[in-house]
A and B are shown apart, each in its own frame.
Chain A
Amino acid sequence: MFKQKHYLALGAVTLVTVLLLSLPSRAVSHLKLGIGGLFLPLFGAVNAARQLPERAADAVLPRGELLKEIENLRRENQEFKVRRQQTDAIARENDQLRALVGWQRQQPWKLKLASVVLRDPANWWRTVQIDLGKRDGVTTNLPVLTADGLVGRVSSVGYTRSQVVLIEDPACRVSARVLNPANDLGVISPGGPMENSLVNLSYLFGNANLKPGQQVVTSGEGGIFPAGIPIGLIADSRQAEFGLNTEARVKLSANLGALDQVWVLFP
């Protein structure tokens, strides 16, 4: 039944697997991004194909409608400028107060827009890849968010693209704070394989007074995520570990199932 060719094939495949699995993590990360780079031309082609209908729709859009849209955007832009002035004034006041108390001055967020180019093909991980890499200054553990809320953090970086581990993945734990009178602290952990927009908030005090609809934001502890990034809203809560602590389910603000563009937050 076994010929020499079969023995050789079996030996070669086993050897390759053992070698790959025993490589150091840094080499594996580089190798992964290198092999994944083979798919870049295909992703470029797919992105171009996706943009074709949009461009075609843009071409046939009436001029009057475009002018109306520009007018709306101008108005919105002016409103944002006014609001920014107010925010700047508040930030200056905040800096002065922090200086008086002796706290470290808060740095304004620096954001870079990235497109999501692919999702993890395995069902047991929740990661995406974005089109920013080392050449754009991306490093590991940078927070990634959308306008709605936190998405995850950068887990590995290649030259032109990076892998982002989503907040639903077991490898992404976030220290979170509930915006209630007690400012309860907990840790965000994944909900389940089929729960796309729900995550667990665990390790809360047993007497935590949680109500559905209360907002959950990053606490700033842990050193990766700055404080105040919205995560979601409390959906429900229950006592765990015989009442020693409370667990809650949080409905995520960002729609992780339909990520198209995300912001990478630079320090």
Chain B
Amino acid sequence: MNVFNTILILAAAFLAVFAEAAFQLPRHLFGAQVDLLPALMICAALNTNVVTVSLLAVSGGLWFDSLSANSLGVSILPLFAVGFPICLRRDLILRELPFAQLVLGAAASAAVPALCVLLLLSGGQAPLLGWGSLWQWLVMIAGGAAATPVIFVLFDRCQHALGYQPQTETSFRPDREIRRGKK
């Protein structure tokens, strides 16, 4: 784990938020925009440390809210609420399995918008909700679930291509060297 992973995750979050605001294909096709931040949060929680998870929650939430009509900061806590427990319990999760990634991505993509809307409603705001929101929620869950394993694969490839690899230890130990010949 090094700073490179943190930078990679934050850069991906920045691009993800930009893509959500600039490209409208999912909205035209399915009637809802897919949020990639929960999927990224799962990737960060399983591969990095709690500092990166916190940074992703704060910066990703701020970037998302700055381009949206959300109250500034309302997306931070839902993202953190998803990433923090997974980061704490990641030793118990089979994070290498694509199915586990998919399930976690779906759960995170379900939880983050629901918590966001709850926070907005509790703050006295009136977002556009109706029966159609259920469909939008399902699209977000499906999109987030599908994106999570892809993000894991991309993250691994970027790490291998750009990051420093840990140096493998040699089996040579000077104290175990067999000295031959006369002293």
Binding site for B on A (CB under 8 A): 1-2, 5-6, 9-10, 12-14, 16-17, 19-21, 23, 28, 31-36, 38-39, 42-43, 46, 118-127, 129, 155, 163, 165, 168-171, 190, 192-196, 257
Question: Closest 4 interchain pairs by CB?
Answer: A20-B73, A194-B132, A124-B127, A121-B20
User: Does B100 lie at the interface of the complex (its beta carbon under 8 Å from any beta carbon of A)?
Assistant: no
* Residues on the A chain within 8 Å of B142, using CB: none
Residue among A9, A124, A190, A192 with max Cβ neighbours from chain B (10 Å) = A124
How many whole Å from B127's CB to the nearest CB in chain A? 4
Query: How far, in whole Å, are A14 and B14 apart by their CA atoms in the complex?
Result: 21
CB-contact partner of B133 in A2, A123, A169, under 8 A: A123
**Chain A proximity of B95: nearest CB distance (Å):** 18
Known: A192-B132, A194-B130. 6 other contacts (CB 8 A): A39-B21, A165-B69, A192-B131, A193-B128, A194-B135, A257-B28
Min C-beta distance of A207 to chain B, whole Å = 28
Q: A196 — which chain B residues lie within 8 A by C-beta? A: 31
Of chain A, the residue at the smallest CB distance from B134 is: A193
Interface residue stretch chosen among B48-56, B152-160, B162-170:
B48-56
Residue pair B73, A121 in contact (C-beta under 8 Å): no
B84 touches A190 (CB 8 A): no
Q: Contacts A120-B68, A121-B64, A127-B68; is A192 near B130 (CB within 8 Å)?
A: yes
Q: How far is the CB of B14 from chain A (nearest CB, A)?
A: 8
* Chain B 113-155 near chain A by CB (<8 Å), digits 1 or 0: 1001100100100111111110110001000000000000000
Q: Which residue of A lies closest to B20 (CB)?
A: A121
B7 at the interface (CB under 8 A from A): no
Q: Nearest CB to that of B89 among chain A residues?
A: A1
B136 touches A122 (CB 8 A): no
In the complex, residue of chain A having the shortest beta-carbon distance to the beta carbon of B84? A10
B77, A14: Cβ atoms closer than 8 Å = yes
A194 contacts B54, C-beta separation under 8 Å: no
Q: Complex formed: what's the CA distance from A196 to B21 in Å?
A: 17
B136 → A minimal CB distance (Å): 5
Q: Do A39 and B88 form a contact, CB below 8 Å, given A193-B129, A194-B132, A194-B135?
A: no
Residue in B21, B74, B120, B131 whose beta carbon sits within 8 Å of that of A121 in the complex:
B21
B71 in contact with A28 (CB, 8 Å): yes
A193 to B33, CA, bound (A): 12
Residues of B in contact (CB 8 Å), total: 55
In the complex, chain A residues whose CB is within 8 Å of the CB of B67? 36, 39, 118, 120-121, 129
Bound form: Cα–Cα A5–B170 in Å: 33
Q: How far is the CA of A165 from the CA of B66 in the complex (A)?
A: 14
Q: Say whether B93 faces chain A, with CB atoms less than 8 Å apart.
A: no
Let me know if B32 is at the binding interface, CB within 8 A: yes
- Residue B58 is within 8 A (CB to CB) of chain A in the complex: yes
A122 pairs with B57, CB closer than 8 A: no
Known pairs A6-B50, A9-B51, A192-B131; A17 contacts B68 (CB<8 A): no
Query: Would you give the 0/1 interface string for B61-104, flagging 1 where the beta carbon is closer than 8 Å to chain A?
Result: 01111111111111011001000100010000000000000000
Contacts of B88 in A (CB 8 A): 1-2, 6
Contact residues in B for A19 (Cβ distance below 8 Å): 73
Most buried by A among B21, B32, B76, B131: B21
Known: A16-B76, A124-B117. A46 touches B22 (CB 8 A): yes
- B72 in contact with A32 (CB, 8 Å): yes
Q: Which residues of A contact B131 (CB under 8 A)?
A: 192
How far is A19 from B76 in the complex, measured between Cα atoms in Å? 12
Which chain A residues border B27 with CB–CB below 8 Å?
119, 257
Contacts A9-B53, A125-B68, A125-B127 hold; do A118 and B22 have CB atoms under 8 A apart? Answer: yes
Query: Is the beta-carbon distance between B120 and A12 smaller than 8 angstroms?
Result: no
B58 touches A21 (CB 8 A): no
Q: Is the pair A125, B69 in contact by a Cβ cutoff of 8 Å?
A: yes
Assembled-state Cα–Cα distance A126/B68 (Å): 9
